Amino acid sequence: MPQDDFIANLERLQAELPQIAERAMMFAMLTAEATAKRDAPWTDRTANLRNSIQAGVTKAQETEVEGALSMGYPGFGASMEYAKFVELGTSRSAPYPAIWPALQAIAAQHVFERAFEAELHKFLGA
C-alpha cells in the first residue's frame, strides 16, 4: 500500500508542477518588476515610463514556464515607444537600463528557484 501512495503522490505532483512553476515564475517576475521600478536610473517627470514597467507569465506548460518583463510595450502596459531608447540608448543618448539589471538581480538572487522551492514545500505540506 505505501508504494501505491507514493505513486499516487508522484502523479499528483506531476499534474501540479506546471501550476507550481507558474506561481514561482509570477513571483520572480513581480520581484523583477518591483526592482526595475525602484532602481530605474532616470529621473521621472510624469512617472509614465516607470509605471509602464510590467511583468507577467507568458508560458506555463507541462515542461516550460516563461516570464516577461517589459517597459512601454503595449502587450503588457501603456505603449511608450521611446522606452527602448531609454533602455538601450541611441547614438546621441546614453542608455538608462532598468529591465536588464532587474533581471540580472533576480537571477543572481535565485528568486525563481527559491520561489519554486517554497511552492513545492507548500504543495507537499512540508
The per-residue pLDDT for 20 is 93
The per-residue pLDDT for 37 is 96
Q: How confident is the model at residue 117 (pLDDT cuts 50, 70, 90)?
A: very high
Neighbours of 56 (CB within 10 A): 17
The per-residue pLDDT for 103 is 96
The per-residue pLDDT for 76 is 53
Concatenated DSSP letters of 38-69: HH--S--SSSHHHHT-EEEEEEE-SS-EEEEE
Its pTM stands at: 0.85
The per-residue pLDDT for 15 is 84
The per-residue pLDDT for 72 is 85
Q: What tens digit of pLDDT does each residue of 19-65 get?
A: 999 999 999 999 999 999 999 999 888 888 998 899 999 988 878 99
Distance of CA 15 to the CA centre of its chain: 22
CA nearest to 56, candidates 81, 72, 35, 33: 33
Choice among 49-58, 72-81, 85-94 with the minimum mean pLDDT: 72-81
90-119: burial string, b at 16+ Cβ within 10 Å, e else: eeeeeeebbbeebbeebeeeebbeebbeeb
